[in-house]
Amino acid sequence: MRVYQPLGQSSMCTELSAKEQETISRWKGGSLAAERLLRPKPVALGSVVVDPPLFQAPLLEYTNHFFRLLVRHFGGVGLTCTELVHARGLIECYERTGQLPEQLWGVDIEPGPLAIQLWESDLQWLKRGVAFVASQLRPSVIDLNFGCPSHRVAGHSGGGAALLKTPERIGELVAAAVESAGSIPVTVKIRLGWDPSTPVAARVAQVVEQAGAAGLCVHGRYATQRMGGKADWNAIAAVRPHLCRIPLIGNGDIATPQAAYRAFVHYSVDGVMIGRAALSKPWIFRDIAAYLAGKPIPAPPTLDQKREILLGYIDRLEESLAPRRALVLAQKYACRLVHEQVAATRVRLAISQARSLAELRRVVAQAFER
């Protein structure tokens, strides 16, 4: 049995002893469910060290500057990431207005390590976008999205997951991005393929590594599944033998510390990326980090603390955005954070019906009353 661990910029294959194999087998059978067997090592993305190896997934209209600060506040996250940004849209927005698009607000003052994620199907626009980000914004990592299945990205523009239909084209785009990024590591996020009839993750893994990518994240679904069904972690693990040097990050349905731990032990990934679960529990990285370190999982925030989290989030949006835009984003996130509240359906309805930030604040205050 082999366990892969990051070493510098590569992944090292290490043989386990018969005793270690037996211990892991007992864990998989449930007899050692509470015991910490292997503690994941930091992940090296080029010169950038991600420690702990826990990655915040980019989610459109959710993982903005204020959400990322919230995740950082609780701790445990190794690398945060912006919402996905269209490379051409970034350049055109800046040339037209002298301003960055909303998805990149705050990146210049935000603590790192931080990744900026770009998507683009046109080689020249990608090169311009990467060069701009590398020279003007200097993030820790530049991530390329080849996994978004949305119509706006994959359908209308032929970017994101649509490019999984042409792995060699992905290689060309990655190579161009690596050249334009200079010393900043370039990573790649993909899905298993466009649909179950075309599993291409292994081939894409080889292509992006050869093109110079510093890391690969695989979401365990096909594009046509969107977020339906369950993430296939066996398919994620099957990508491992096709990578020689760069780390593999797994993504999909990680909602508990125990699930994250199983991903490291059972599927031999170097890192774990968490998306939707972090929206309702921005403290999940803290909890996972504690569990991986063999420490007790901290108690979740109290009702009062959750109320203050939301009200503070609303305040920061109001300070930075136009009232209508601030209201829309605040409503989207508030509906996520109250997901596990008593009478959550009723509360979400009241949140969505709020017509002003003041009204939304009243709804939030009532929702978290004792």
Pairwise CA distance, residues 229 & 34, whole Å: 28
Amino acid at 155: G
Q: Helix, strand, coil shares of the chain as percentages rounded to 5?
A: 50, 15, 35
Comparing C-alpha atoms, which of 318, 295, 306 is closest to residue 367?
306
Q: Is 148 a catalytic residue?
A: yes
φ/ψ (deg, to 5) at 104:
-110, 5
- Residue 360: both structure tokens together: 């939304």
Name the catalytic one among 148, 217, 244, 335. 148
> Do the beta carbons of residue 272 and residue 250 sit within 8 Å?
yes
* Angle at alpha carbon of residue 253, lines to 70 and 203, rounded to 5°: 110
43 pairs with which residues across the strands?
50
> Do the beta carbons of residue 11 and residue 246 sit within 8 Å?
yes
φ/ψ (deg, to 5) at 340:
-105, 10
Q: Quick count: other Cβ atoms within 10 Å of Cβ 198?
A: 15
Residues forming the active site = 148
